Amino acid sequence: MQASVIVPVYNVESYLEKCVASVLAQSCKDFELLLIDDGSTDGSGALCDRLAEKDGRIRVIHQENRGLGGARNTGIRAAKGDWLLFVDSDDWIEPWTLAVALESAEEHSADLVVFGFRSVDEKGNTLATFVEDLPRDRGFSLIERRDMLLIAPSAVNKLYRRTLFTETGIQYPPRVWYEDIRTTPKLMLAAERIAFSDFVGYNYLHREGSIMNSARLERNREILDAFDDLLGYFAEKGLLEDYRDELCFLTVANIYMYASVRVVRNDPKHPLVPQFAAYVQKRFPDWTKNRYLPTLPWKQRIAIALLKKKMYRLLYLLFKYKG
């Protein structure tokens, strides 16, 4: 079997059929679809079973709730395909996604293929499109192009050779936030070849929701644990200094900027914001000299400037409206 498509499922009864239909509509037919019912409390688990009755390519695994990472791990262990594609259960993929990704992997002898994705609202409007600005002519190892470490760490716009997981022991951490940033850079380090494609094959549904409650807002603290994990992994491999510039930039971008903005947009006075700044300063005291910072878009550079001056209210106003 050529590929396994892994879909973690948790309380997405209203979205699951569209997701599954998009997978079953793939132009490449040599695949299995694994639906991992992660302890759903709505009708999602029963819907998985009904969908499996209609198509023999679908296998369903029911388990106690282990979170997104734990569900992916279950799918990886059960997969029979040589290649893995992850799809979140409220998203969908284009009909050619699997075929084009597999062709790119074969053409460049790659272990990991990265393709574009778009963010879409519930009305079907495209909010943004993301395609990495890296060469398409051949595959690269991470040591050849260290800036590949800076790509969006999302698990879902990538095709993986299954042995990246099975031969390295790399897993997604269960029951945590920020599981992708803990895992994707490790997989990139393990890959002998990484290829990039400019096709946009994944649709990420941006669901409108209410402002985070205090408990969910507090969970942003877990990004500090995520970077302890990631930086510790590179240190154990003896590669922390080799990739210091890239890891510093990842830390600044994800903790100092993205996590801070996420919290400030909900509560400009939340104590997590100065804690994020202190973490970055401790880990990378010279972070302001990082060579990748000038590559950030202007709005993100302004955000960093406001954070440095502790002008959190202005930061809140800057990001009050999406765009």
Beta bridge partners of 119: 128, 204
CA–CA separation, 226 vs 78, rounded Å? 26
The SS3 call for residue 61 is strand
Do 82 and 115 lie in one domain? The reply is yes
Radius of gyration of the chain (CA): 20
pLDDT of residue 321: 55
pLDDT in tens, 79-111: 999 999 999 999 999 999 999 999 999 999 999
Do 184 and 312 lie in one domain? The reply is no
Q: Does 50 reside within a domain?
A: yes
Q: How many domains does the chain have?
A: 2
Does the pLDDT at position 214 exceed 80? no
Q: Which residue has the higher pLDDT, 207 or 251?
A: 251
pLDDT of residue 317: 86
Which structural domain, as residue segments, surrounds residue 230?
A: 214-318
Beta bridge partners of 38: 63
Helix and strand element counts for the chain (H, E): 13, 9
pLDDT in tens, 46-64: 999 999 999 999 999 999 9
pTM of the model: 0.94
Percentage of residues of the chain with pLDDT beyond 70: 96
Which of 174, 205, 236 is the last residue before a domain boundary?
A: 205
Do 9 and 140 lie in one domain? The reply is yes
Do 183 and 293 lie in one domain? The reply is no
| Host H or E run for residue 201 | strand 194-205
Which of 205, 223, 253 is the last residue before a domain boundary?
A: 205
Which of 164, 180, 205 is the last residue before a domain boundary?
A: 205
Do 233 and 182 lie in one domain? The reply is no
How many CA atoms does the CB half-sphere of 169 hold within 13 Å? 1
Average pLDDT, the chain: 94
Categorize the per-residue pLDDT at 210 as very low, low, confident or very high, splitting at 50, 70 and 90: very low
